[in-house]
Amino acid sequence: MYAITGEDVARAASWLLGWSYFTSWSLSFYPQPLRCWKYRSTRGITVDFPLLNIVGFTSYFISTTAFLFAPKIRQQYAIRHPSAPEPTVRFNDLIFALHGTIICFLFYSQFYPRLWNFEVVKGQRASAGALGIFYGSIIGVSITALLVSLFKGGRDTPDSWAEIDIIYAFSYVKLIITLSKYAPQAWYNYKIKSTAGWAIDMIWCDFIGGILSLLQLVIDSALEADWSGITGNPAKLFLAVFSLCFDTVFFVQHYVLYKGKALPKEDEEQALLAE
């Protein structure tokens, strides 16, 4: 008779947490575009949020795909993490990244009246900061790829430049996006003194997903008996940490600072954003 071990329980818990966080975070994508659809409007939302999300989730999809299916990348990871050679990236991470990329493209398209005929704030466009991050991410990954091509040695070592550094560059793009994508919306809410256009359901799903994702990462690292597995998956680690921090900011704005406050009139909103 097969005896269930502690490792079996831990792996089952990891699997359950992984798909639970996938469900929670995936659900978090829907309240905002559905709200825009319901009210036929994107007022109260900054276009920076979906734009940066597209860059972030595309980068995350590339990195998770490489860690799961690219033999060379997995080999280089094992060289750098000899005590825990198995990446802590899971299949649910890949599906989450792919799903997020698709939904973010859909959400971003809602800011184009010609496509959806939604009400938008006149003259609203991506901020200089968001565009700087967008183009800076492309430049950063390109520079990393150039460095790898110039300085990669004939044999992979823990300290040598390798293709995995390009994949890590994509991971760091996701981290930068996660850190910066929420800031414009938090500032937007502050400027208009309202969160009425912001779907708080999305933030609750995001918050729950962040906790579950962190728990899975901890369990997976424990199973590998090496806590470097946590830092070896920086995109997943800081995606959860940064999300939890900004979710807390949005909770304070929605339930404390601007509770029950409606959106300003459109002309007032334009004036506030122009300040």
pLDDT digits (tens, 9 = 90+) for 49-78: 899 999 999 999 999 999 999 999 999 999
What count of other Cβ atoms lies within 10 Å of the Cβ of residue 226? 17
* Angle at CA of residue 156, ends 154 and 161, nearest 5°: 90
With pLDDT > 70 as the criterion, what percentage of the chain qualifies? 91
- pLDDT at position 219, please? 85
Place of tokens 């009210």: 39
Helix (H, G, I), strand (E, B) or coil at 159: coil
Is the pLDDT at 125 greater than 60? The verdict is: yes
Stronger pLDDT, 23 or 233, i.e. the higher one: 23
Residue 269: which pLDDT band, with cuts at 50, 70 and 90?
low
The rounded distance, in Å, linking the Cα atoms of 176 and 59 is 11
The rounded distance, in Å, linking the Cα atoms of 274 and 53 is 24
pTM of the model: 0.78
Stronger pLDDT, 140 or 272, i.e. the higher one: 140
Phi, psi of 119 (to 5 degrees): -75, 130
Residue 201 CB contacts under 8 Å (≥ 6 apart), including other chains: 28, 31
- pLDDT at position 123, please? 67
Place of tokens 């800031």: 183
What mean pLDDT value characterizes the chain?
85
Out of 36-45, 120-129, 239-248, pick the least confident. Answer: 120-129
- Supply 264's token pair: 């300003």
Residue 136: which pLDDT band, with cuts at 50, 70 and 90?
very high
Place of tokens 């994702």: 213
Instruction: Report long-range pairs for 218-222 (Cβ below 8 Å, ≥24 apart).
Output: 219/10, 219/13, 219/14, 219/17, 220/14, 220/88, 220/90, 221/84, 221/88, 222/10
Residue-wise pLDDT for 83-116, tens only, equals: 778 887 888 889 989 999 999 999 999 988 888 8
